[in-house]
Amino acid sequence: MTVQQQQVTIPTVLVYEGDPGFFPQVNTPVPHPVPQLDTQPFPTAIAGNAPQPDGAGPGTEAFRYWVAADALSRTGQTWGPLVPTGTQWHPQVGRALTAHLDAGDGLNARYDRRGVWFFRRTVAGVAVATCESSEIVEHETGHAVLDALRPQLFNAASAEVSALHEAFGDISALLSSLRLESLRIAVLAETQGDLELSSRVSRMAEQLGWAIRQSHPERVEPDCLRNMANSFFYRDPVLLPPIGPANTLSSEPHYFSRVFSGAFLKIVAGIFRQQDLQDQAGLALSAEIAGQLLVDAVVAAPVVSAYYAQVAGHMIAADQSRNGGRYGQSLRSAFIRHGILSLEAATSLTEPEVTRRNAAIAEMAPGGGDDQGLTAVTVQGATYGVTQPLTLSAPAQERRFGIAGSDPAGGSLRPADPERVATSFLEDLFRRGRVDVPEEHRSATAFVDDNPSRLKTHEISRSATGEGLALVRRCFD
């Protein structure tokens, strides 16, 4: 057998790159090498038996399996080289993160500490299986990666912290897509090199967006679920409505995440502009640089109210220590344009200040206890229809960088205190019908959400540490 023949016989599977798309912009499956799942530091698995890699096409279970496997594997390859040595899945996940590709009826997917779960539903004759979208698989796996890096974020009672988790999921999809040379070439052509523009990689979950649009057009973008090419400007989520149409900002974490993910896309674009060559290799490098700064920042940033500003400040600090501040202007500009940093905050992050703070950051490590650094806030249960006092894990008070987001009227916003952040988060959850309150904990006046199809991301359960009840997160969706 000649060398050339051997290359031809490398086993491949057909997959969608990014997303299935929707009529008439349905994407064409392409061959990829058979993916490896059990690789460090983020081993993954898929429940059930692996089908033969026999080139099965869209609509078959074998095809769905390989799309999901390809995306799981790529997400691990995307984040693996960027995370600190010794990073592993949250202990409750186990050694490998398990994906469940047919978790039931629904237009959704979720991460909990037992695995990642993908739902499916037929809409207007189209079978929508969320595991068939690489972007959705990469988003959910991104939640698991961030949970490995910063378990404290999982249960923090804060809209902004939850939204950072959602932004990380979309960023996980963006960076995983940009690992594919074919998509880098496609995006450079589509945007003519201006990565800030709407593109196949900035548009998240086109097919799922289409499916939701058939019944709830106001909830999604006109051409996708969410778009990282956006101009949403930071507001303190405590002051925002709990939910709203997709063209407005609300405190609902997926919608609020767009402020941060929008800034992140501009950061990738800015770093790319500074590369010597504006080609697909330069784009691959830019994505990696931006991802590294984000990983450094989430590991180091204290979990506080005005969390976006802290992560932003720590990305600027990480750039100072890794790259000598080479990308500082791109970072500041993106965060200012989205109001994550006020002008005042951005200019206060001077080189000496950042260097001084970096000395403390160097000691930070990933992981830690689930409640490490959080503050317990206990509120009256009666207001929320529960029988006993309720404890929330609020973000802490102390900020490493004394910086905050932008006030739309000018200057900096004063961050809300931890108690306000936590109670506002709890109220929003109740108003969105996202809390499961077991019968035994309900008071006579309890407000019970009667729609069983609404996903309960949280539950009220007996406090593990002491008396009374606690708000506990079940999952991210």
Contact footprint for Zn ion (CB under 5 A): 166, 169, 476
Specify the residue, 132 or 166, whose C-beta has the smaller distance to Zn ion.
166
State in angstroms the smallest separation of the CB of 437 from Zn ion. 23
| Least separation in angstroms between CB 420 and Zn ion | 25
Q: 70 or 138, CB closer to Zn ion?
A: 138
Cβ atoms within 10 Å, residue 272: 24
Pick the closer one to Zn ion by CB: 335 or 476. 476
Q: Which residue's CB is nearer to Zn ion, number 141 or number 375?
A: 141
Minimum distance, C-beta of residue 323 to Zn ion, in the bound complex (Å): 30
Q: How far apart are CA 355 and CA 317, in angstroms?
A: 7
- When the beta carbons of 204 and 283 are compared against Zn ion, the nearer one is 204
- Least separation in angstroms between residue 142's CB and Zn ion is 8
Nearer Cβ to Zn ion, position 112 or 166? 166
Q: In the complex with Zn ion, which residue's Cβ is closer, 177 or 330?
A: 177
CB 143 to Zn ion: min, Å: 6
**Closest CB to Zn ion among 116 and 377?**
116
Cα of 275 vs its chain's centroid, Å: 26
**CB-closest chain residue to Zn ion:** 169
In angstroms, give the least distance from the CB of 476 to Zn ion.
5
- Angle at which helix 181-191 crosses helix 280-300, to 10 degrees, equals 100
Residues 134-169 as b/e (b if ≥16 CB within 10 A, e otherwise) read: bbbbbbbbbbbbbbbbbbbbbbbbbbbbbbbbbbbb
Please report how close the Cβ of residue 151 comes to Zn ion at its closest, in angstroms: 16
Q: Judged by CB, which is closer to Zn ion: 44, or 257?
A: 257
**Paired strand residues for 304:** 396
Give the number of residues written for the chain.
477
Q: Based on CB atoms, which residue is closest to Zn ion, 169 or 291? A: 169
Estimate to the nearest angstrom the gap between the alpha carbon of 242 and the chain centroid.
Answer: 19
Question: C-beta of 279: minimal distance to Zn ion in Å?
Answer: 32
Least Å distance, CB 168 to Zn ion, is: 9
Nearest distance from C-beta of residue 418 to Zn ion, angstroms: 24
In the bound state with Zn ion, the residue whose beta carbon lies nearer, of 130 and 199, is 130
Q: Which of 340, 160, 169, 161 is nearest to 263 (CA)?
A: 340
Compute the least distance from the CB of residue 249 to Zn ion, in Å: 17
- Of the CA atoms within 13 Å of residue 177, those in its CB half-sphere come to 30
Closest by Cα among 266, 357, 349 to 309 = 349
